[in-house]
């Protein structure tokens, strides 16, 4: 069975990690455990050396390297001793050349694989993901690092915390470095600002690990209700113009308490076609990231269910959505996403935020833009003239066809109009076809009166079916246009990426592809000079 790993994580040298590790080893030994000191670095600190006391110490292995005698943990000796618990200091240490492993954390992995429990120490500046941040803060590049995954996989991570002022007092008293090094350390690496920033990094890193452990526990226990350990606000974004207002409102809500987190979510349709404009989503994503939030995208046709499933998955406490932009008729026919989220939210609070576009029906501008102007013009012309021409032809063939055939021909014409011009012209064709069928082919002729109820029902069905089929055809045509556009965009991006990978200069390749795409004679990039001139 694999051993367990316990990590004492500190924000800076001198906070007491090694002392705490030795104290834990002594307590385990006093409780009857088989504990050995596999390696400990006292750095000349008297109180740390005293804590070793009568603990069993495995002798170190001496390595000669370029005339220097280096002492390393004797991994083979520890494995042969096979204790219950091994104390291993400085997890991020790089072993001397010729050692079995390059890094000490790899030695620790070997001990764990052998079933030995390990208690170890590491400072936050040695975590691989934080190396660049620490270098920016302190001006010191850490050469020895340990992968975050190693520490995150530990069974326990204990933060050894100390305020910057207390740590500086320890240094001033000589408890950390020798007297001749104290002044230089206090004025450089151990400045109050540096220590405060390192402490914040350590606290946030541990908080993220605790949050991940909480998510795993809730998943293992099948707990669906959110635990409001901290404020986590999910902002549902459609990519519409109200998105920036929603993001800012969510950021204010998350910022009202300590540790609040802003999470933005966009739900895309499963077909990957219908959706918001990419530039709008990109703009909103940049805003979210500038406010310290995270951006997420999921796929699902049921937007309300997708939002709530995501919110429960991240243990959200609140969901922020915008007021519906649908018109009154659409709102009366269907409750909409907002109402569905409120209805099914359970223990999650939902805030519906009003905005300038609330209650305004979405225009058909986007739908019209998918069809060329000439095609729309042909659609309207066919909708206006087609029923008249068809009615004239059917009138000349009176007696040869019955009413059912006449109505089916008007229906076929309406579908054709939908294919050519979209939904708007199809509605006109359906209504005009219904009126002409009533006036010319339904007794009494040449009036709007319908004598037989069956004929009235037939004409009503004609109009209803024509509108429904037209809507479906129009949707299919729009999705086809979107798919073709997406394919064209992907082809351009693929060709551009191929040009760059083949070693071509990215900017000329981009300009050439743009020129070809839009059929222009040339393309150029203008740079704005200091005076504002291009």
My answer on whether 243 and 146 are in the same domain is: no
My answer on whether 147 and 189 are in the same domain is: yes
Q: 200, 220, 240 — which closes off a domain? A: 220
Tokens of 50: 């005293």
Q: Which of 143, 84, 69 has the alpha carbon at shortest distance from 119?
A: 84
Alpha-carbon distance values, 29 to 18, 24, 194, 196 (Å): 16, 9, 37, 35
My answer on whether 54 and 164 are in the same domain is: yes
Please return the burial class of 396, using the count of CB atoms within 10 Å of its CB with bins 0-12, 13-18 and 19+: exposed
My answer on whether 295 and 344 are in the same domain is: yes
Q: Which of 151, 113, 117 has the alpha carbon at shortest distance from 36?
A: 117
29: Cα separation from own chain's centroid = 46
Instruction: Report yes or no on 417 lying in a domain.
Output: yes
My answer on whether 313 and 188 are in the same domain is: no
Tokens of 141: 């590049």
My answer on whether 240 and 336 are in the same domain is: yes
Alpha-carbon distance values, 194 to 8, 168, 184, 188 (Å): 20, 12, 14, 9
My answer on whether 257 and 136 are in the same domain is: no
Q: Which of 263, 270, 255, 172 has the alpha carbon at shortest distance from 211?
A: 263
Instruction: Report yes or no on 359 lying in a domain.
Output: no
Instruction: Report yes or no on 133 lying in a domain.
Output: yes
My answer on whether 245 and 167 are in the same domain is: no
Please, are residues 251 and 461 in contact by the beta-carbon 8 Å criterion?
A: no
Domains contained in the chain, number? 3
Alpha-carbon distance values, 486 to 36, 168, 481 (Å): 64, 60, 9
Q: Which of 334, 271, 261, 331 has the alpha carbon at shortest distance from 301?
A: 271
Q: What is the extent of the structural domain holding 273?
A: 232-353
My answer on whether 54 and 194 are in the same domain is: yes
Instruction: Report yes or no on 467 lying in a domain.
Output: yes
My answer on whether 435 and 308 are in the same domain is: no
Task: For residue 86, give the 3-state DSSP assignment.
Answer: strand
Instruction: Report yes or no on 362 lying in a domain.
Output: no
CATH for 173: 3.40.50.300
My answer on whether 238 and 195 are in the same domain is: no
CATH for 308: 3.40.50.620
What span, in angstroms and rounded, lies between the C-alpha atoms of 437 and 266? 47
Alpha-carbon distance values, 522 to 7, 449, 497, 516, 532 (Å): 62, 64, 21, 9, 24
Instruction: Report yes or no on 480 lying in a domain.
Output: yes
Q: Could you tell me whether strands 232-237 and 35-39 are parallel, antiparallel, or unpaired per DSSP bridges?
A: unpaired
Place of tokens 């606290």: 203
Note down pLDDT in tens along the chain; length 534 residues: 899 999 999 988 888 899 999 999 999 999 999 999 999 988 888 888 889 988 999 999 988 877 788 889 999 999 999 999 999 999 999 998 888 999 999 999 999 999 999 999 999 989 988 888 888 888 888 888 899 889 988 999 999 988 889 888 888 877 777 777 777 777 778 888 888 888 888 887 887 776 666 666 666 666 656 555 567 899 998 888 888 888 988 888 887 766 678 999 988 765 554 556 677 888 888 898 888 888 888 877 788 888 998 888 888 889 999 887 665 555 555 567 888 888 888 888 898 887 666 555 544 444 444 566 787 788 889 888 988 888 888 878 776 777 778 778 888 888 888 778 777 887 888 888 878 877 787 777 777 777 667 767 777 777 787 678 767 766 776 677 666 666 665 665 665 566 555 554 566 766 766 666 555 677 787 776 665 555
Q: Could you tell me whether strands 61-65 and 68-72 are parallel, antiparallel, or unpaired per DSSP bridges?
A: antiparallel
Instruction: Report yes or no on 305 lying in a domain.
Output: yes
Model pTM? 0.50
Instruction: Report yes or no on 358 lying in a domain.
Output: no
Q: 194, 220, 246 — which closes off a domain? A: 220
Q: 299, 325, 353 — which closes off a domain? A: 353
My answer on whether 153 and 190 are in the same domain is: yes
């Amino acid at each position: 069975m694999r051993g367990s790993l316990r990590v004492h994580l500190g924000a800076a040298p001198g906070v007491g990690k090694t002392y705490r590790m030795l104290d834990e080893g002594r307590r385990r030994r006093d409780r009857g455990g088989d504990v050995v000191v596999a390696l400990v670095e006292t750095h000349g600190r008297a109180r740390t050396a005293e804590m070793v006391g009568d603990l069993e110490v495995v002798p170190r292995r001496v390595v000669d390297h370029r005339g220097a005698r280096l002492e390393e943990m004797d991994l083979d000796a520890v494995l042969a001793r096979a204790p219950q618990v091994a104390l291993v200091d400085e997890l991020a240490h790089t072993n001397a050349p010729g050692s079995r492993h390059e890094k000490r954390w790899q030695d620790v992995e070997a001990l764990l694989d052998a079933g030995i429990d390990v208690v170890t120490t590491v400072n936050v500046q040695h975590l691989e993901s934080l190396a660049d941040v620490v270098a920016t803060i302190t001006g010191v590049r850490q050469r020895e690092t340990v992968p975050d995954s190693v520490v995150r996989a530990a069974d326990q991570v204990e933060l050894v915390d100390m305020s910057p002022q207390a740590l500086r007092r320890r240094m001033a008293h000589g408890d950390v470095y020798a007297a001749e090094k104290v002044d230089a350390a206090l004025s450089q690496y151990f400045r109050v600002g540096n220590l405060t920033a390192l402490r914040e990094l350590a606290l946030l890193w541990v908080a993220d690990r605790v949050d991940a452990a909480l998510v795993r526990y809730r998943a293992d226990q099948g707990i669906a209700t959110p635990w409001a350990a901290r404020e986590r606000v999910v902002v549902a974004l459609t990519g519409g113009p109200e998105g920036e207002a929603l993001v800012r409102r969510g950021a204010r809500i998350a910022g009202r308490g300590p540790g609040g987190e802003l999470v933005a979510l966009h739900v895309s349709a499963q077909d990957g076609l219908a959706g918001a404009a990419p530039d709008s989503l990109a703009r909103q994503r940049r805003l979210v990231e500038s406010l310290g939030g995270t951006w997420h995208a999921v796929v699902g046709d049921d937007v309300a269910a997708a939002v709530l499933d995501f919110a429960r998955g991240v243990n959200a406490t609140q969901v922020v959505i915008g007021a519906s932009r649908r018109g009154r008729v659409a709102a009366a026919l269907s409750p909409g996403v907002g109402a569905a989220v409120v209805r099914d939210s359970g223990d999650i609070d939902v805030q519906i935020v009003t905005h300038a576009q609330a209650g305004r029906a979405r225009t058909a501008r986007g739908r019209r833009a998918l069809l060329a102007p000439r095609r729309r013009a042909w659609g309207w012309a066919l909708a206006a003239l087609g029923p008249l021409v068809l009615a004239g032809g059917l009138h000349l063939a009176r007696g040869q066809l019955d009413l059912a055939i006449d109505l089916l021909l008007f229906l076929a014409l309406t579908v054709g109009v939908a294919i050519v011009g979209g939904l708007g012209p199809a509605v006109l064709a359906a209504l005009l076809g219904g009126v002409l069928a009533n006036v010319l082919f339904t007794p009494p002729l040449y009036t709007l009166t319908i004598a037989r109820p069956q004929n009235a029902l037939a004409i009503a069905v004609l109009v209803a079916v024509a509108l429904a089929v037209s809507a479906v055809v129009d949707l299919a045509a729009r999705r086809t246009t979107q798919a073709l556009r997406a394919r064209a965009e992907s082809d351009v991006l693929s060709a551009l990426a191929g040009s760059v990978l083949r070693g071509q200069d990215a900017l000329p390749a981009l300009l050439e592809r743009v020129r070809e795409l839009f059929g222009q004679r040339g393309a150029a990039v203008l740079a704005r000079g200091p005076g504002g001139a291009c």
